[in-house]
Chain A
Amino acid sequence: MRKKELKLVITFHTTADAMAMEKACKENQTPGRIIPVPRAISAGCGLSWCADLSDREEISEMMKRAGIEEEEMHECMV
């Protein structure tokens, strides 16, 4: 297994929201990718957006512009 790093992980209420996030990020060339929600955050399944901590501000601003609502924003080891 590769070594874990501290990352920004954004969770969503629905899969549709996660897909909206991926689409908006691609369109805006915002960094990150879809990963399964880490169990450290929730055991409840689903998709989340994973990116470097340093991209947090850029991502937040893009989400505001695109009207994408997160469930929570976490910093965790993934």
Chain B
Amino acid sequence: MIYMDNAATTMHKPQAVIDAVIAAMGSMGNAGRGANEASLSASRVIYNTRDKLCRLFGAESPKQIAFTNNSTESLNIAIKGLLKPGDHVITTMLEHNSVLRPLYEMEKKGVKLTIIKSDEKGTFDLKDMDEAVIPETKMIVCTNGSNLTGNYIDISKVGELALRKGLLFVVDASQTAGVFPIDVQKMHVDVLCFTGHKGLLGPQGVGGIYVREGLSVRPLKSGGSGVQTYSRTHPAEMPTALEAGTLNGHGIAGLGAAVDYIQEAGQDKIREKEQSLMRRFYEGVRDIPGVKIYGDFRTWERCAIVTLNIGDYDSSEVSDELLTEYGISTRPGGHCAPLMHEALGTVEQGAVRFSFSHYNTEEEVDKAILAIRELASD
């Protein structure tokens, strides 16, 4: 199989990640639930991963990184834990349902929501965001990269706007964490939501949230913490405040090994390889009659995603043909990005998304180009 659905999850993981998970499964106790060696071993591995992520994202301290299951949980924590009725929040049409649905829930509770429009290339104008700010505006929540088109959003510019207007800035880094450089302090990010199983190359079921020092977020959950047992309330200190219950220590061990792999292989090198595969694919398919590509390709500074349709064919049919006839895995349909599809005019047809990993090869890309050429000529 040629796997080109890396924006959903990177299926090919570094061997060191697999080894770290297996080692953890043979040795880890419950972190922070005792001072026996097994428990301490888990606590140490988890702390080390926290420390590595702190450095990767330029956080003030490892304490400001809490582990979650995934970006969705992190975004729910940020959106539901920082907004209250009467607040106004700004987001964009580029967002995934993990941003939109929590916002719609908050809207029902009395939060005012403005969604910045996207153009037909899947980008938005920062000026529109600037003009949408009203006295009640509390927060901007915005993606760092569209999971549908791959368009990259320069969050340092959005962060500057948020800083200038005195707003909280929450970033969905699902498509960019591990691949693009992120410095939360330099980019004025108050909350960074990320998952471990995409660009970070870790296991599924582990993600995280960075919260700026001094910012307090109401947790979604309370429960076991390993400290302050006889207190009736969950500890307020980060990261424990957002980590009720046993953590996915085995997954976090894998994520720690994944960050090491990225540092050793070089984040820039990984990204450049992915982008060069994307570019090769794009240039190979863009002139094929009947092929329509979505997104902004005026710059190569974008996530390694090419999303397209062939004529009026249903995207699910095209994706199924790619799999059954050519052994190529892609993602058709709506990609949990309803407003982005509205902006692109692809709600009915959906679209076929090719997303690349640095583990893909030029030969695989060339086979995918040939497949599209053959399907388009049918």
Most B CB contacts (10 A, CB to CB) among A15, A19, A34 go to A15
Let me know if A14 and B237 touch, CB within 8 A: yes
Proximity string of chain A (1-28) to chain B, C-beta cutoff 8 Å, 1 when within and 0 when not: 0000000000001111111101100000
Known interface pairs A20-B47, A44-B228; A15-B62 also in contact (CB < 8 Å): no
Any A CB within 8 A of the CB of B132: no
Q: Select from chain B the residue with minimum beta-carbon distance to A67.
A: B61
User: Interface majority SS on A: helix, strand, loop or mixed?
Assistant: mixed
- Is B314 an interface residue when CB atoms closer than 8 A count as contact? no
Q: How far is the CA of A50 from the CA of B48 in the complex (A)?
A: 21
Whole-angstrom distance between the alpha carbons of A16 and B238 in the complex? 9
Q: Which residues of A contact B239 (CB under 8 A)?
A: 14, 16
Known contacts A23-B47, A34-B40, A47-B35; decide if A17 and B229 are in contact (CB<8 Å). Answer: no
In the complex, the answer to whether B226 meets A16 with C-beta atoms within 8 Å is no
Asked if A43 is at the interface (CB within 8 A of a chain B CB), the reply is yes
Which of chain A's residues have a CB closer than 8 A to the CB of B61? 67
What is the number of residues of chain B that contact chain A, defined by CB distance less than 8 Å? 27
Complex contact A13–B237 (CB within 8 A)? yes
Which of B46, B48, B63, B231 touches A44 (beta carbons < 8 Å)? B231
Residue of B nearest to A45 (CB): B229
User: Does any Cβ of B come within 8 Å of A32's Cβ?
Assistant: no
Point out the residues of chain A lying under 8 angstroms from B240, CB to CB.
13-16
Report whether A35 and B35 are in contact in the complex, using a CB–CB cutoff of 8 Å: yes
Q: Is A46 an interface residue (CB 8 A)?
A: yes
A14 touches B230 (CB 8 A): no
Q: Which of A37-60 contact B (CB under 8 A)?
A: 43-47
| Interface positions of B (Cβ within 8 A of A) | 31-35, 40, 43-44, 46-48, 50-51, 61-63, 226-231, 235, 237-240
Q: 11 A-B pairs, CB-CB below 8 angstroms?
A: A14-B240, A15-B226, A15-B227, A16-B238, A18-B43, A19-B46, A23-B47, A34-B35, A44-B230, A45-B228, A45-B229
Besides A14-B235, A15-B240, 9 more A-B contacts (Cβ < 8 Å) are A14-B63, A14-B227, A14-B238, A14-B239, A15-B226, A19-B43, A36-B35, A45-B226, A47-B35
A residues in contact (CB < 8 Å) with B: 13-20, 22-23, 34-36, 43-47, 67
